[in-house]
Homo-oligomer: A and B are copies of this chain.
Amino acid sequence: MKIAVVLLSGGLDSATVLAMAREQGYACHCLSLDYGQRHRAELTAAASVARALGAAHHRMVKIDLAGFGGSALTDTRIAVPTGGVAGGIPVTYVPARNTILLSFALANAEVCGANDIFFGANAVDYSGYPDCRPAYVKAYEAMANLATKAAVEGQQLTVHTPIIALSKAEIIRQGVVLGVDFAQTVSCYQATDEGLACGVCDACRLRRTGFEQAGVADPTHYRDDKK
């Protein structure tokens, strides 16, 4: 059985990507990075999603990006914007985050003998992040194919980004078809430790609009939810 490393954040996008990799017949070694993000709910969600979608393995690695600061997601002194999605690169951008995540995935791939990394980057709804663009992913792949012992020995690594060109609504529809339980996922940038979403940060707004546009009932647990 072919092996893939799947970067799993606990959000809606990477859960769908895991389901897509499973659908393509990969034994999925999921990797979640505890990088000092504001809340723990994301990592708890990643564990539930990995289990529910039949991951072969799930590894959680702790790294210290909070020490670098420079982002609303890792520095509590920088407020998460809640006024609506604006243009430009948002303050929730974490310096070099995806490069670091992919580098751990690359190490993991080499150790478990995988030639495939699945990565839930998305360039449509959220074009503000430089490290979600197709040109970046291609350049990463080219670098990775010079970086490792596996590459020298002739293995070709592919970084799959199956949702990079999909809208949030399309990702949700794809996930529904593949049996993703979105109630398990947490997208909110400032969720409570129990996974309750704020409803007003960019991630919540894009997610809510995505469910509306997909015509799928939104299973998100919001803080102000009276259910």
Contacts and interface: CB of A to CB of B under 8 A. Distances in A.
Taking each of A69, A135, A148, which has the highest tally of chain B beta carbons within 10 Å of its own beta carbon?
Answer: A148
Contact of A99 (B63, B103, B131): B103
A131 to B, nearest CB: 5
B143 A107 contact: no
A96 B144 CA distance: 8
- Interface residue tally on A, bucketed by range: 35 or more
A151 interface: yes
Contacts of A69: 111
A71 to B, nearest CB: 9
B61 A61 contact: no
17 contacts: A61-B67, A62-B64, A68-B111, A95-B106, A95-B110, A95-B111, A96-B103, A96-B106, A96-B107, A99-B143, A99-B144, A103-B103, A130-B149, A130-B152, A136-B147, A139-B142, A142-B143
